Structure formats: structure tokens, C-alpha cells
Structure 1
């Protein structure tokens, strides 16, 4: 599966491909259960959400790379105690099978979390995922405080879904994250979905804190706009100024539209080729490395 429009964009920008920091792969039966939540409009989804891409890990990776994605993540997230290390074992195996994949990990507020996070860092984890809406916990949970301290010291990025989209809970929103950053100002958070729908608050955190970044996952797409999550046009200059802190994300394969639509929507913002070049490739390549057999432009 290819996209002539994406290939033309890559050629114009002079970059070797896309670097997508927000993609999902799951062990079974977790993958089947996650897809069912989306497709039945579960309580944390709130509306029909038909998934466009299906298949084995091998088939999905082939689809993703066919669109020009040269490096990608394989994010999982724990939602109960005792689950994180099972997922971390699986993720390590996935990265072993697919060298273009970032080595990812997750954690949960539970006794011993800091210990296994330290072990996984030593094993090469490059990116963490935390989803407070699904996990139903606050980032300020005391059981997580030693974990945040370890990760602030290590400098390993954490993709954090803390915005209140698609459905708000008592654990979502910018307030707890602002408190977390007051405690750990060097924490390298990557705010998923640009923090939708609380864009202004999360942009302010990226402006204030040196190591806070944002990912574009689903932002600017027609589907997001229909959900009431349209990015305010008046904030685009702030997003332009944060160009070195914005990373491409997609939520592949759990998206209800074709993958190229995300790229087209970002390009349609008209924020300039230098901004686009950084978002689609260079920012993540600088953060994580260009990967095997790829030389950054």
C-alpha cells in the first residue's frame, strides 16, 4: 500500500520517510479486546469508531512502511496491577522482530514499578506510554513518584495521554500534569493528541518546560473536528513556534480513516516546509536516532 501524495511530500522535503511516534501493536487477546472497545463505541470512546487497518503484526508493519514510515513505536499501556511487565516482555520481543520499531515500555502505579522501570531502561527501552484515561489513575499517584524521578533523571520520553478526549474522566485534564511538572520539571513528556481538547493548557506546558513535547496524533483530521476536537486556528502561531517540539503521531492502526489523511491534514496547515520537515521526520530522528539503514537528511 503506497501513497503518491506522501511520496511527493517526502521527496519535496528531502527526508527519508516518516517517523511516527504514536502507533499501536498489541499481544493477543489484548488487540482483539481493544478493537472491540473502539468498534462498539465503548464508554471511553463515546461514538462509532470503525478501525481501518487490520491484520497480523507483519501485515500491519508492511502497511505502515508502505506509506513511507521508516520508524515507528509499538505502544501498549497497562490498565491494572501486574500487567505492565507482561506487556514489556511482549514489546521487547516485538522490537526484536522489527528493527525499525522503537523499544517501548509501560508502567502502572503499583509497588515495585520504579524497580522494573529501572530494569527496562537498562534493557534499552527508548519510549514509554501512559494512558490515564484507560488506566484510571492520576499521574500524581504517590506510587508513581519514584518512577517519574527515575525517568526525569534518565531523560527517556513518555507519551502521555492525559487530555480529556475523547471522553473526560476524573483522571484526565491538564491540572494533574501541571502539578506533576511542578514536582519534576525535567520530565520528558510527549503530550499525546496535542493535549486535545485542552490544547491551550498543554501548549503552555510545552512552552514553559524545556523537555515537554507534543504529538500530532489525530489532530487536524476531519474525524477529530467532527468530535469537537478541532485545533483552534488562533493557536497555530504558537504551534509554529514550537516546531522543534512537535512529533508526528497517528494512532495507527486504530484510526477510522486512511493513514495518508493525517499527513495531508498536517500539510494543509500551511506552516511551511521547514516546520513540516521537522514534524514528519527530523524532530523524532534527533530524539531517538534515525534507525537501522536510514540516514537523516
Structure 2
């Protein structure tokens, strides 16, 4: 297994992250709200890391995991960074996994301050039942990974599930874009077809929908419930493959100030310091109000963080 950054010990941050707390304090924020953080049962997470180590077909490039630590260490590190609210996004890659993942992530949230109760689903006959159970247990955000799952978001077995989420007003973080490697069911067209069926759905498009930024900005402007997360966008790593078009920055600014762009990081599954995400956002020069909205206020409004 490829080594990541060594765990820095009590009250310390790894090299590269030392300025994170000064970043949000300088904006007058109480901390950060990160809607795209992953937690998985340890055995499954080790398999995911091994897949990244091997640059598997859905990764497509060298991707050394930086924060390769246990659950407790990663929770503690988020606290040191000042991430006051974060998701625990898990996702299945085959049928029969989602219900058990939901039990695990909801238990994690129950015993972890700051962790948003998170759940997931897969297109299978049981999905509506276990999604209803997760909602009753307090799930506040769902994860849908169209790329890894290899299914269309309009799969008929999910109609009832999307309806449940729309009725409950509970958002789903959806990996709908082609990046890093496209599949038959990624891209703006399948996601637009889903929204046409469920226009009231609250959805957060991961990675700003990269590489089809313009099309996903269109959808965020057209549908009240659609938002975008910044995950990996504007980092040197991501910019090598799918840079955000400079001429779309005014639209990104307007959407952020309208509550529709939220901070995401992909922690811990990133090959660079957490600070790179924040530095990339600041480098856009869209203003401190925009940074405040993206890094805290938009998620605080969506999840009633107070």
C-alpha cells in the first residue's frame, strides 16, 4: 500500500495545511463546511485506496492518497483544520451493499460531532425501503456515484427513491460528470433527464460537473434545487486535466452568491494538501463575500447548521 502523509500528532497539521485555519479566520467564518468528505467501512476503504494506487480504469492517472489514516485520526484532523461540518459519503459499486453502508455511516454520524448523517443507494428493488429507513433515522445527505455504480440516474427502480428525496427536501451529492473518466451514464444529458422527471429534487453536482462545466452551470441556473460543489476544481492537480473555463467565472460568482456553490474537497482521497482546494478558490479572485458563501454560508443554509 502506498504511504500517505504521516499523521502529524496532537494539535498539528501536515506540511501544506498550516494556513487553513488562518484562511477561514481571515474571512470571519466560524470554520468550514465541507459537503464532499468520504468515510467508508475500513475494509472497503482499503479496497478503494488500492484501486487508486493501481490507477484503475475509473481513475486513469497516478493518484497517491495523501490522508491514509484511520477514521478517528481523520475526524480529529478535520477538527484541526476547522471543518465544523462534513459529510460521510459512502457509495456502493454493486447491488446488496447500500443498506449496510447506511447503517455504518449513520452510526458514524451519531457518535461524531460535526458529521452530517449520510446515506446512499443503488438501483435495486429494495432501494426505496432502505432509503425511507435512512430518512427516518435522520439522514440529511445522500451520495450517488453514477460513474462507479455504472447505472443511469433515470433507472426506473430509482424513481420512487428520487421522489422520496424530493419530498423530504434532502439533497443528494451526485457524481454526474465525466471526470476523471467518463462512462455511458455520466455527463449532463442523463442528469438533465433525471431533473426533467424530478424537477423539485435537491442535488449537489460533484466536481462542478467537470469537464462539462457550462452545461452543469446551465442546470444550476435552471433548477432551484440544483447546486454544485467545488471538489478538486481549481487545484493544480485537477487543472492539468479539466481546467475551469475563465469565461465562466462570472456565472460561478453569481451562483455562489445565490447559495448554489458549496465547498467540497474529496478528503481523504486526494493526492495533495487539503489547503490546495482553498488556495484554488481564493485564486479565482471572486471576492471575500463569495468565499464566505462557498466555504460556510451556503452549506449552513442548506443543512440548517446555525
Q: TM-score range by the shorter chain?
A: over 0.9
- Describe the SS at the equivalent of 2:107: helix
Query: Do the aligned residues in 2 keep the contact of 1:23 with 1:251 (CA within 8 Å)?
Result: yes
Structure 1 segment 112-123 matched on structure 2, within 5 A = 112-123=126-137
Q: CA deviation at 1:4?
A: 4.5
Per the normalisation by structure 1, the TM-score is 0.96
The partner residue of 1:104 within 118, 121, 141 is 118
Query: Do the aligned residues in 2 keep the contact of 1:24 with 1:75 (CA within 8 Å)?
Result: yes
1:242 aligns with 2:255: yes
The partner residue of 1:258 within 273, 277, 280 is 273
Aligned position for 1:35: 49
| Alpha-carbon distance between aligned partners in 2 of 1:174 and 1:221, rounded to the nearest angstrom | 22
The partner residue of 1:271 within 286, 289, 304 is 286
Structure 2 residue runs without a partner (length 5+) = 1-11
| Alpha-carbon distance between aligned partners in 2 of 1:94 and 1:206, rounded to the nearest angstrom | 31
Structure 1 segment 116-265 matched on structure 2, within 5 A = 116-226=130-240, 228-243=241-256, 244-265=259-280
Aligned position for 2:92: 78
Aligned position for 1:89: 103
Q: CA deviation at 1:29?
A: 1.2
| Alpha-carbon distance between aligned partners in 2 of 1:79 and 1:93, rounded to the nearest angstrom | 21
Query: Do the aligned residues in 2 keep the contact of 1:67 with 1:260 (CA within 8 Å)?
Result: no
Q: CA deviation at 1:6?
A: 2.2
Q: Any idea what the Cα deviations from partners look like across 1:176-205, whole Å, max 9, x if unmatched? A: 110111111111010000000011111100
| Alpha-carbon distance between aligned partners in 2 of 1:114 and 1:283, rounded to the nearest angstrom | 29
- Describe the SS at the equivalent of 1:111: coil
Aligned position for 2:7: none
- Describe the SS at the equivalent of 2:19: helix
Q: Any idea what the Cα deviations from partners look like across 1:149-196, whole Å, max 9, x if unmatched? A: 111111100000010000011111111110111111111010000000
1:12 aligns with 2:26: yes
- Describe the SS at the equivalent of 1:9: helix
Structure 1 residue runs without a partner (length 5+) = 291-295
- Describe the SS at the equivalent of 1:50: coil
| Alpha-carbon distance between aligned partners in 1 of 2:26 and 2:42, rounded to the nearest angstrom | 40
RMSD (Å) for aligned C-alpha atoms: 1.0
| Alpha-carbon distance between aligned partners in 1 of 2:268 and 2:163, rounded to the nearest angstrom | 32
Q: CA deviation at 1:11?
A: 2.0
Per the normalisation by structure 2, the TM-score is 0.93
| Alpha-carbon distance between aligned partners in 2 of 1:7 and 1:153, rounded to the nearest angstrom | 37
Query: Do the aligned residues in 2 keep the contact of 1:194 with 1:217 (CA within 8 Å)?
Result: yes
